[in-house]
Chain A
């Protein structure tokens, strides 16, 4: 499997109210070409932050990538200059934002917003860019003649499709889809997902699929990563994670999931709260909530353990023959 994106020991912090919010903490993750990676985790786990970091979009003074490195297709994203970054954003790596209602510029027509991206990256004429925009809109099921309309003239579901059209307009190699369907109702959700799946298959795009819905992960993804307090605590194929969840947190999430194909199945609530990102516990971040936590869990931060190609970050598996 060809690795398209490699994150190593990534640390991201936000600064607000004179406090440091540790949103991502020493995170490592690989993404493989043409595969869909599901990223699940509670709200505030740092999923959006992770996606933004891949684009090097954490901006001072709100936040900063403080450590680690990000390699996209072999290039170090964090050392790219402005120009290289801009060439990468939108062209090689595109992102679909969580909230379609605010992601589109209200004073520009949707056609313009798509066409300008094409124009920026593809070196085509204005007419050709506009043509592409119209084609993209039609691909996502919006008639081409609506390209000259403004975002407020579209419904929420249509806006979400516009956002998808926008992200896919330049055939990105990597798509960061941040909860692309949360804002939609269930039927539209299914339509949009079908559409995305189709487009992704056609274009051979790798996808980071951020969601709260385990059902969607089971349906759409090849691999899954569980994120907790800015770390990946478990990573493996869909079969591995769903068949044999290792981390207590993942187990908790999967709880007593009745039917994996149920699209609407949400993450199970686990007793307790995510640790305060301004004041993370020592030891394992999950230890205050963990029913299996022992002495070592409260004192020492666990390392990644490989259990037959299934990565888990938990002390429970240290003795069981896994190696760090």
Chain B
């Protein structure tokens, strides 16, 4: 198990380097001039040149990238580098980027976890229900609802919810913050719609496929009750892909809460990221995008591990320390 894990974690390394490289390259070509931003419009050419040197912006691309990873020594602008958990300071607020990320990430986590929970809470049971009555009227209705949820632009859904429940019915506030549970309802519902649709459809199709399998027929032939057939024999198999999808969705929710957070003015990582992009605050963008990619990748790893726990075919390959002696066991 631990060796498998080690291998998986080692495989993360190139991926993470790739991610940081891509994001860094994107920021490098961004048409913005941080030195100008720091100095204001009226700086002299000499001061400007000095500032560029101080910020390390005069170095070639690859040197700047290595500095981003391994640190950059300067009394004012220096930082220890990504590998040492220091991403430098925001050009705008001058706050430590990593601290800012760590302070806003839990808020995003709350939102994403709430949304995933809500999506699973409704998505899985409805998916099972639909699969047990495929092509029935109710199944059709759920299908259409799922597709509606998957087709609705998130930002529009948020606006409609605000228009209805905040502006007109005045049940929930239009702005939300992590301390106030009531205010979290609308963003969580908004955020969960897409995932719920995906989970519902996945549960349904996975369940339908499993119900066709020979071992389900075996269970029925054994005289098992239909409830046992569905919930023990079929569901356990059907949930395997659902867990994967849910895990991937969670990753998407963490990074994709951007629009929802922005609309509900929620102080999460997404809002910080979008604001940083608007303000061309390079360290902030780099830091937060890399952070999200990192959590996303770790989520996927976690899903894989979880996968192993519910799928014995994989679990035994983890736990197999030594190959079991393949004794020839012949019939008595």
Residues in chain A within 8 A of chain B (CB atoms):
55, 57, 82, 85-91, 94-95, 97, 99, 102-109, 116-117, 120-121, 140-143, 150, 152-153, 158, 161, 163, 166, 191-192, 194-195
* In the bound complex, CA of A161 to CA of B331 (Å): 9
* In the bound complex, CA of A109 to CA of B220 (Å): 17
* In the bound complex, CA of A163 to CA of B221 (Å): 12
Q: Establish whether residues B310 and A89, one from each chain, have CB atoms under 8 Å apart when the complex forms.
A: no
A-B contacts, 17 listed (Cβ < 8 Å): A87-B223, A89-B221, A94-B221, A97-B214, A99-B214, A102-B214, A104-B215, A105-B218, A107-B240, A116-B232, A117-B222, A117-B223, A140-B331, A141-B330, A150-B312, A150-B316, A153-B316
Chain A min CB distance to B224 (Å): 6
Chain B min CB distance to A166 (Å): 7
Contacts of B218 in A (CB 8 A): 97, 103-105, 163, 166
Residues in chain B within 8 A of chain A (CB atoms):
213-215, 217-226, 228, 232-233, 236-237, 240, 310-313, 316, 329-332
Chain B min CB distance to A282 (Å): 34
The 4 closest A-B pairs by CB, nearest first: A90-B223, A89-B223, A141-B331, A90-B222
Contacts of A85 in B (CB 8 A): 223
Q: Establish whether residues A102 and B313, one from each chain, have CB atoms under 8 Å apart when the complex forms.
A: no
Q: Establish whether residues A150 and B223, one from each chain, have CB atoms under 8 Å apart when the complex forms.
A: no
Of A86, A107, A143, A195, the residue contacting B223 (CB under 8 A) is A86
Q: From B238, which residue of chain A is reached at the shortest CB distance? A: A107
Contacts of A87 in B (CB 8 A): 223
Q: Establish whether residues A116 and B224, one from each chain, have CB atoms under 8 Å apart when the complex forms.
A: yes
* In the bound complex, CA of A91 to CA of B217 (Å): 15
* In the bound complex, CA of A150 to CA of B236 (Å): 14
Q: Establish whether residues A86 and B225, one from each chain, have CB atoms under 8 Å apart when the complex forms.
A: yes
Contacts of A104 in B (CB 8 A): 215, 218
* In the bound complex, CA of A149 to CA of B105 (Å): 42
Contacts of B313 in A (CB 8 A): 106, 150, 152
Q: From A109, which residue of chain B is reached at the shortest CB distance? A: B312
Q: Establish whether residues A120 and B331, one from each chain, have CB atoms under 8 Å apart when the complex forms.
A: no
Contacts of A194 in B (CB 8 A): 331
* In the bound complex, CA of A99 to CA of B217 (Å): 12
Of B213, B220, B223, B316, the residue contacting A102 (CB under 8 A) is B213
Q: From B312, which residue of chain A is reached at the shortest CB distance? A: A150
* In the bound complex, CA of A73 to CA of B160 (Å): 65
Other A-B pairs, 4, CB within 8 Å; known A106-B237, A192-B331: A55-B221, A89-B223, A94-B222, A142-B329
Q: Establish whether residues B316 and A106, one from each chain, have CB atoms under 8 Å apart when the complex forms.
A: no
* In the bound complex, CA of A94 to CA of B220 (Å): 11
Of B224, B237, B311, B331, the residue contacting A191 (CB under 8 A) is B331
Chain B min CB distance to A161 (Å): 7
Contacts of A140 in B (CB 8 A): 331
* In the bound complex, CA of A43 to CA of B185 (Å): 60
Contacts of A99 in B (CB 8 A): 214
* In the bound complex, CA of A108 to CA of B225 (Å): 17
Q: From B324, which residue of chain A is reached at the shortest CB distance? A: A153
* In the bound complex, CA of A86 to CA of B223 (Å): 4
Q: Establish whether residues A105 and B237, one from each chain, have CB atoms under 8 Å apart when the complex forms.
A: yes
Q: Establish whether residues B330 and A88, one from each chain, have CB atoms under 8 Å apart when the complex forms.
A: no
* In the bound complex, CA of A142 to CA of B328 (Å): 11
Contacts of B215 in A (CB 8 A): 102-106
Chain A min CB distance to B249 (Å): 22
- Give the most central of B219, B222, B224, B311: most A CB within 10 Å: B222
Contacts of B316 in A (CB 8 A): 150, 152-153
Chain B min CB distance to A146 (Å): 9
* In the bound complex, CA of A9 to CA of B332 (Å): 43
Q: Establish whether residues B312 and A106, one from each chain, have CB atoms under 8 Å apart when the complex forms.
A: yes
* In the bound complex, CA of A117 to CA of B229 (Å): 12
Q: From A152, which residue of chain B is reached at the shortest CB distance? A: B313
Contacts of B237 in A (CB 8 A): 105-107
Contacts of B225 in A (CB 8 A): 86, 120
* In the bound complex, CA of A206 to CA of B215 (Å): 24
Q: Establish whether residues B233 and A108, one from each chain, have CB atoms under 8 Å apart when the complex forms.
A: yes
Q: Establish whether residues A88 and B331, one from each chain, have CB atoms under 8 Å apart when the complex forms.
A: no
Contacts of A88 in B (CB 8 A): 223
Contacts of A152 in B (CB 8 A): 312-313, 316
Contacts of B312 in A (CB 8 A): 106-107, 109, 150, 152
Chain A min CB distance to B321 (Å): 15
Q: From A194, which residue of chain B is reached at the shortest CB distance? A: B331
- Give the most central of A85, A107, A152: most B CB within 10 Å: A107
Contacts A152-B316, A161-B331 known; A166 to B219 CB distance under 8 Å? no
Q: From B134, which residue of chain A is reached at the shortest CB distance? A: A61
Chain B min CB distance to A88 (Å): 7
Chain A min CB distance to B74 (Å): 57
Q: From B320, which residue of chain A is reached at the shortest CB distance? A: A153
* In the bound complex, CA of A176 to CA of B228 (Å): 23
* In the bound complex, CA of A212 to CA of B256 (Å): 59
* In the bound complex, CA of A161 to CA of B237 (Å): 23
Of B213, B214, B220, B228, the residue contacting A57 (CB under 8 A) is B220
Contacts of A97 in B (CB 8 A): 214, 217-218, 221
Q: Establish whether residues A141 and B329, one from each chain, have CB atoms under 8 Å apart when the complex forms.
A: yes
Contacts of A142 in B (CB 8 A): 329
Chain A min CB distance to B242 (Å): 13
* In the bound complex, CA of A22 to CA of B107 (Å): 62
* In the bound complex, CA of A99 to CA of B215 (Å): 10
Of B213, B223, B233, B236, the residue contacting A120 (CB under 8 A) is B223
